[in-house]
Amino acid sequence: MRFDTPVYFQHIQQGEYNTTTGNYDSDTLTENERYANVSDTGTKTMNLVYGELRQGSFVVRLQNHYTQPFDQIRIGDKRYRVDHKRSPRNKQTFVVSEVQ
């Protein structure tokens, strides 16, 4: 199993209210890069997590746990949300689906 795909964990911080202008500041996006094994989700896993077959669903496997807070995951140019997370002793697995 190769952990050769760059995966970016994105955390979006909401902009705060600016009292002088009366507007909200822009949101800030921070990304942390990790290398992972990314593969298509099997039919058994899709039936277990979603109850149906879905397009654009992947399994992301990390060698170590990712403990920082994040909102979504970016793989390439596409953004994904985490639908299921599993954390055995050493590794961590995410089942993700594409965000429209």
The CATH number that applies at residue 86 is: 2.40.10.270
Structural contact between residues 72 and 63, judged by C-beta atoms closer than 8 angstroms? no
Q: Is the pLDDT of residue 5 over 90?
A: yes
Which domain, by its residues, includes 65?
5-98
Nearest by Cα to 35 from 14, 7, 61, 16: 7
Count up the domains in the chain and report the number. Answer: 1
Euclidean distance between CA atoms 60 and 69, whole angstroms: 17
Average pLDDT score, the chain = 91
Structural contact between residues 44 and 75, judged by C-beta atoms closer than 8 angstroms? no
As a whole number of Å, the CA-based R_g of the chain is 16
pLDDT digits (tens, 9 = 90+) for 7-56: 999 999 988 898 888 898 888 999 999 999 999 888 888 888 888 877 88
